[in-house]
Structure 1
Amino acid sequence: MPATLPSLSDGTPARGVRAWRRPAAPAAPFPEAAFAPEALGARFQFVRELGRGGMGVVVLARDLELHRVVALKLQHPLMALDARARERFRREARIQAQLDHPGIVAVHGAGEVWLEGRALPWFAMAYVAGESLADRMQREGTLPHDEARRILLALLDALQHAHAAGVVHRDLKPENVLLARDGRVLLTDFGVAARPSHDDPRRSSADAGTPLWMAPEQFAGEHAIDGRTDLYALGALGFAMLAGRPPFQGPSARAIAVARLTTDAPTLAEWAPRAPRALTETLQRCLARDPAARWA
């Protein structure tokens, strides 16, 4: 993909398009005891919950040792019972900590706290005051062309850094893009990231990612992924920002997978007719079913 996207002439969002609505994430039960003053040990003081998923919860906390607020990610106690799940959680922290880039959320430290007699892994990240791209898209539907372009360029720069380090994110989606109040765009959540040159070649990609944004090769369960897998997701994000909907939708992950594996992506120029042609063509190439047809 080129280092820069085409310049934009019109920032007017497309009309007559229903706003994209992110799917509701199941709220995993998380023991309230984890938020008690003594649960996070002497170092952290719980402030409020920021978000949760099936793997754990992210909370805003005060780091009393370093005198700053952090986004503290805690693994779910049930997940922490499994040694492989604990190692995946620690691996996420290590990978993200090694990616020193202004467009990737920094990791400040990792460790364990004790909850109900068991070790609960955590890692602390820089707290980004603002909102996620999912929040912005849910509120506004489509984004002005110049704003979409700015976000895409920032993500492209962060992804280029990760790819140069041998890391493929594999789960680029609106929820994992943070829009800071000061204008920065940051990529986070490397929980299913892959390092193709290091990982077990038998490891499947089918269980990694989010169906609305996954590349066809992820659905096929092929291990042969590389940076072009993330470029597909980047194209899907660009499509959604300009058109107000992801390129593929369906009643189930299976339906989305079948459509993505057997049909080409919809033509973005038809969904966002006011968008500059060079921009829609750039994103359309990201959405090619065959990785070889995408940007190198």
Structure 2
Amino acid sequence: MSADKDTLEVIARQIIPDTASLGHLGTGGFACTFKVEGDGQPYALKVIDPGLSEAARVERELDALRRVNHPGVVQFIDHGDHEHDGVTYKWIKMAFVQGHSLRQALGGGQVFDVMEALQLVRALVDAASAIWEQRTAHRDLSPGNILLQPNNVPVIVDLGLARHVDDETLTELPTPGTPGWMSPEQVKTSPTHGDWRSDQFVIGALGYLFLTNVQPFYAPNLMDRWVAPATRAHQPIRSVDNRIPQVAADVVERMLEKLPYKRYLRPQDLLADLDRAILALQNTEAPDSSPQRFFVNISQVKNFAENGYLSALRPAGVIVDSRATSRLEEFFTAAHEADANAILDPVTHFVQSPREARPAGFRRLPYGDAPVLTGFSDDDARTEWCQAVLDQSMEPRPDVVISPYFFAGEGSGSWVTETLACASKYEELMAARSEENRAEIWTGVAVHSSWLANQQYRNTLLNQLTGQPMKALYLLIATNQPPLGPLADVEVLAGLHELLTVFREAAVPVVVGKRASSGLLLLALGAQGWGSGVSGNLMNMTPPPEAVEPGGGSAIDRIYVPQLLNHITVPSYVLMRATEPELVELNTPYALQLFMSNPDLEELSTEDRILLNRHNIYAQQQQVSRLDALPTGQRIATLRDWISGASEAYRVLPPTRLPSEGPGFLASWTATLN
């Protein structure tokens, strides 16, 4: 029968002198630890619950503590037994360590630069080596069992799982330990007790977390998290953040090898490699975190360039398309007043449509009323066409122009080839202009999602995209999902993840345009920018129309709910707010203004819709700002928290009306981040 904390505290008070004071430090899996003051130097007293612990386990901790003498391992003082109500309780006195647990530090948002990360790993390996020299392994070097002193020097505590390497006894899965912080051999189908190389693996996992701010083996389900080190592959460190030096990544990656024999086989070799990595970095400053840039696509919607909205939004750039014609200069002036880049999108994919199906504003452009484009007969024809597009694009003097792009449907690789040929031509034509009449060029690419979901297509796409230099990639993706629905196709997301990893390695920024709230996920995965539109057709890329669209019904108004990471129809939102208002709070000035004029959101006027759309964009921008304030890897951890919160909210809230409003995408996002 186990004892509760209060009982163990009573016993602790019976053990210490009457003149001493007692303070609770923490409760672990089988004991309570207290701080004792007034009995000489402060010390820690662990009272062990006999109902939850094995006598052999306690003896192992005592043996390990007696044998180890290292400032990085908690110092043993004394031990004994205490009788209480006919039950024998064992106790251990240890030196008191001033500080807090690594788990508390990480939970409180503490982050480490590359040098601090390597020095922490080095200190842990050095301390653990003192345990290993005694032919003992700790076997639970989780963040909760490491204390950080005020100077950030770590101390290993709780040797309760320490086991001599000659001890062949096992505990069936789930073995004692901390889910997500054990070695593969400790949690596989036929687990072994582990040895010093198991500790090395866990320190490597901690090093991965220190460097990237991402836990390498994560799963939302407890049992899945337990076996994750054996069943899941971690993302390569430099695919999470390619600014982490290779010399640092290499050491930690070797520590994380699944097979123990592939890890370091001698502690002195591991320490030597850590010393070499630290020496290589001593004269190198860690780079700043890469920015997460938010772009608003106002296309040709005039009211978004009025009344100071862009200044309040503070985007990195304002994307306007050529159909705005006479308003372009007005829009660009508004962008500059908001300290944002003015970016021009030529929307050239419409030239693949029959003339009668093209938007009226597009047909008024110099290249908008040409015959259906199926390609160019030769380079002269391509040059002439690209020159007309560039001349029109440069008239309002943008800061950035997106190169001509054509929509590549499923299997239509020729349009990717033509898109890249025009991007190369754009660079050539821009270089021929005078210096004061130039602009930065983003390579525009528009593809169907199959180009990312299908591995063969993806290989072809990545081979083509990386085959020529580009300053930035502006990527548009059309899917078969309902409009405004967040990306939920796991294969598409996996393809995007690979693309972002490749372009991070190539040091080419990727801006993903027209992706509704999916941009948050893509930013966490490594995109440097995300463009969100002010209307439905600007939030999701759509292929060029093949025929004149028949008149549809009235548009469905949607409202972005940050807690759900999704756009919800107004009727669904009204129902949610009536039942669980705290779960769908919209704390933006535009939402508050909307509710003041129309508290029930009934029969929205044009002015109401403007406020609603401004809220949608502003709420997403605020989330990007929060990501931008974090180191690269910690953005993944933060988005995981947001996804977990959204999942919980959806469980409580009433069902939504449309599939695209539901929580289905959250499982796909979770799988992509793991």
TM, length-normalised to structure 1: 0.80
- Distance in 2 of aligned mates of 1:95 and 1:121: 16
Q: Is the 8 A contact 2:60 2:163 kept in 1?
A: no
Q: Is the 8 A contact 1:177 1:188 kept in 2?
A: yes
Q: Kindly tell me: are residues 43 and 185 of structure 1, through their superposed partners in 2, closer, same or farther at Cα, counting changes over 3 Å?
A: farther
Q: Kindly tell me: are residues 90 and 133 of structure 1, through their superposed partners in 2, closer, same or farther at Cα, counting changes over 3 Å?
A: same
Task: Report the CA distance between 1:55 and its aligned residue.
Answer: 0.4
- 1:73 corresponds to 2:46: yes
- 1:86 corresponds to 2:55: yes
- Distance in 1 of aligned mates of 2:214 and 2:172: 24
Q: Kindly tell me: are residues 182 and 249 of structure 1, through their superposed partners in 2, closer, same or farther at Cα, counting changes over 3 Å?
A: closer
- Distance in 2 of aligned mates of 1:100 and 1:159: 11
1:63-212 equivalent positions in 2, closer than 5 A: 64=39, 67-76=40-49, 78-79=51-52, 85-197=54-166, 199=167, 201-204=168-171, 206=173, 207-212=175-180
- Distance in 1 of aligned mates of 2:139 and 2:107: 22
Secondary structure of residue in 1 paired with 2:42: strand
Structure 1 gap segments, 5+ residues each: 1-27
Task: Report the CA distance between 1:59 and its aligned residue.
Answer: 0.3
Provide, for residues 25-55 of structure 1, a one-character-per-residue CA deviation record: whole Å limited to 9, x for no partner. Answer: xxx8322573478522538834210000230
Task: Report the CA distance between 1:271 and its aligned residue.
Answer: 2.0
Task: Report the CA distance between 1:250 and its aligned residue.
Answer: 1.2
- 1:62 corresponds to 2:29: no
Secondary structure of residue in 2 paired with 1:273: coil
Q: Is the 8 A contact 1:142 1:241 kept in 2?
A: yes
Aligned to 1:246: 215
Task: Report the CA distance between 1:257 and its aligned residue.
Answer: 4.8
Name the aligned partner's letter for residue 166 of structure 1.
R
CA radius of gyration, larger in: 2
Q: Is the 8 A contact 1:43 1:63 kept in 2?
A: no
Q: Is the 8 A contact 1:63 1:70 kept in 2?
A: no
> Which of these residues, 160, 176, 187, is aligned with residue 219 of structure 1?
187
Provide, for residues 87-114 of structure 1, a one-character-per-residue CA deviation record: whole Å limited to 9, x for no partner. Answer: 3223212212211111111010001233
Task: Report the CA distance between 1:75 and its aligned residue.
Answer: 0.8
Using the aligned pairs only, state the percent identity.
27
Secondary structure of residue in 1 paired with 2:70: coil
- Distance in 1 of aligned mates of 2:257 and 2:230: 11
User: In terms of mean alpha carbon deviation, does 221-230 or 150-159 score higher?
Assistant: 221-230
Q: Is the 8 A contact 1:44 1:61 kept in 2?
A: no
Q: Is the 8 A contact 1:30 1:76 kept in 2?
A: no
- Distance in 1 of aligned mates of 2:134 and 2:172: 19
- Distance in 1 of aligned mates of 2:58 and 2:75: 16
- Distance in 1 of aligned mates of 2:65 and 2:180: 23
> Which of these residues, 45, 48, 59, is aligned with residue 20 of structure 2?
45
- Distance in 2 of aligned mates of 1:253 and 1:122: 31
Name the aligned partner's letter for residue 53 of structure 1.
G
Task: Report the CA distance between 1:274 and its aligned residue.
Answer: 2.5
Structure 2 gap segments, 5+ residues each: 266-674
- 1:267 corresponds to 2:236: yes
Name the aligned partner's letter for residue 75 of structure 1.
I
Task: Report the CA distance between 1:252 and its aligned residue.
Answer: 3.0
User: In terms of mean alpha carbon deviation, does 165-174 or 253-262 score higher?
Assistant: 253-262
> Which of these residues, 188, 197, 217, is aligned with residue 228 of structure 1?
197
Secondary structure of residue in 1 paired with 2:51: helix
Aligned to 1:25: none
Provide, for residues 113-155 of structure 1, a one-character-per-residue CA deviation record: whole Å limited to 9, x for no partner. Answer: 3333422211011101111111211122532222211211111
Moved over 6 A (4+): none
User: In terms of mean alpha carbon deviation, does 245-254 or 52-61 score higher?
Assistant: 245-254
Provide, for residues 263-284 of structure 1, a one-character-per-residue CA deviation record: whole Å limited to 9, x for no partner. Answer: 4222111223332221112111
Q: Is the 8 A contact 2:75 2:94 kept in 1?
A: yes
- Distance in 2 of aligned mates of 1:151 and 1:44: 38
Name the aligned partner's letter for residue 54 of structure 1.
G
- Distance in 2 of aligned mates of 1:50 and 1:33: 13
Name the aligned partner's letter for residue 44 of structure 2.
A
Provide, for residues 160-210 of structure 1, a one-character-per-residue CA deviation record: whole Å limited to 9, x for no partner. Answer: 22112101111011111111124432111111112122x1x2424741321
Q: Is the 8 A contact 1:46 1:59 kept in 2?
A: no
Q: Is the 8 A contact 1:131 1:180 kept in 2?
A: yes
User: In terms of mean alpha carbon deviation, does 31-40 or 133-142 score higher?
Assistant: 31-40
Q: Is the 8 A contact 1:250 1:256 kept in 2?
A: yes
Number of residue pairs the alignment of both structures matches: 261
- Distance in 2 of aligned mates of 1:184 and 1:112: 32
Q: Kindly tell me: are residues 229 and 203 of structure 1, through their superposed partners in 2, closer, same or farther at Cα, counting changes over 3 Å?
A: same
Higher helix share: 2
